[in-house]
Amino acid sequence: MYTLAFETSCDETSVAVLKNDTVLSNIILSQYFHSKFGGVVPEIASREHLKSIVEITEKALSDSGITKNDINLIAATSKPGLIGALLIGLNFAKSLAVSLKVPFVPVNHIQAHIYSSFIQKDKFDFPFISLIVSGGHTLLILVEDFFKHKLLGTTVDDAAGEAFDKVAKMLGLGYPGGPIIDELAKKGNLDFHKFPLSHIKDKPFYFSFSGIKTSVLYFLKEINYEVNKSEKLTFDICASFQKAIIESLFFKTRNAAEQLEIKNISVSGGVSANSALKEKFNELIKKEYKIYIPEINYTTDNAGMVGITGYYKYMKSEDKMFFDDSSINIKAMPRINLNSI
Ligand code: KG4
Ligand code: ZN
């Protein structure tokens, strides 16, 4: 079974080809030029997806060694994301499905991050706790079985990746901030400064990252960073900020796992590429936990994760005819919405 998958929900144009649950090719074109605006500009993102989608599709097919006539299933991210950007991938995918006369599966981007942890892995066990940490989302989910998800917690304000991006901006480091802070933090002192993290009353598995961003801002003013900045100071701020974020993500996830007596944890989304975060979660392996973190190519947005999710969704569905319905369309949706998981 060959699946052709598309991801265009934000600033990555990505197309993948899978043979069953194995990724044969996963082409990702990142729109780095948004960095000069300090964040993604939705209209420009849509236009760029439109410009590159045909070429990326051809490259994904040629790298996989199959042709479009071999494709049995088409999947594309349908929500959540930037509406204009989603429309490009979704409509391209649906049209291709109609012309090739193959079923089309709409894929939820958050679900795609959940199942990205299992790409190129032999086997994984349910139930598991899934921590999804990206630029747009921070969610803690109990995954009881395929597509049986329960929300345990989410962020009440900024996403974890957003905090990395905003703090990097304050430090004048560029966008996206996560990978830059990750590198600089390696040379810094973790205990240089204690940046506080808020706790949400009666919601032990909810996150809040806007307070830490403000506390970094005040700290920079207090030490007159612009005047006193040095490489060492920047490394130390990155290290202590990153430590605070990781501790919040780690302890809430571990507490949820302990409370629910679950020994399988997956961490996915762009922030799961963070080297210190991986190290922290992998320490749990000594305590007999199974930790699933995707390989680096599948952490930030990619079509491989859309393909594996579409494939599982199709294989697990009882009525496969359902997927011939290509009337699926884009809907605007609030940021924290149980139905969006
Ligand atoms: O999953 P993703 O590509 O997009 C969304 O669905 O939002 O995640 C992008 C986010 C950005 O905020 C970026 O700064 C963060 O992931 N990120 C990292 C690292 N690599 C990417 N954060 C921390 N450490 C990293 N190594
Ligand atoms: Zn994402």
Task: Compute the 3-state secondary structure of the chain and give helix, strand, coil in percent, each to the nearest 5.
Answer: 50, 20, 30
pLDDT above 50 for 17: yes
- Confidence band (pLDDT; 50, 70, 90) for 319? low
Name 18's bridge partners: 3, 23
Q: Which residues, in sequence order, are bridge partners of residue 73?
A: 3
Would the pLDDT of 45 be above 90? no
Ligand 2 centre distance from Cα of residue 11 (Å): 10
pLDDT tens by residue, 153-191: 999 999 999 999 999 999 999 888 999 999 999 999 999
pLDDT higher than 60, residue 323? no
For residue 198, the model assigns a pLDDT of: 80
Q: Report DSSP state, residue 300.
A: S
Residues with CB under 5 A from ligand 2 (ion): 134, 301
Q: Which ranges in the chain belong to alpha helices (H)?
A: 42-64, 83-100, 109-116, 160-170, 177-185, 210-222, 225-228, 231-260, 275-282, 303-316
- Taken in order 159, 271, 60, 124, the sign of the CA dihedral is negative
Q: Is the pTM of this model over 0.85?
A: yes
Is the pLDDT reported for residue 339 higher than 80?
no
Half-sphere exposure of 94 (CA within 13 A, CB side): 18
pLDDT digits (tens, 9 = 90+) for 219-259: 999 999 999 999 999 999 999 999 999 999 999 999 999 99
* pLDDT on residue 129: 98
Atom of ligand 1 nearest to the CA of 161: 12
Cα-to-centroid distance, 301 and ligand 2 (Å)? 5
Q: How does the average pLDDT of the chain come out, rounded?
A: 91
Instruction: Give the model's confidence band at 104: pLDDT under 50 very low, under 70 low, under 90 confident, else very high.
Output: very high
* Ligand 1 pocket list (CB less than 6 A): 10, 134-136, 161, 164-165, 176-179, 182, 269-271, 273-274, 300-301
Judge contact between 340 and 108, C-beta under 8 A. yes
- Say yes or no to pLDDT of 335 above 50: no
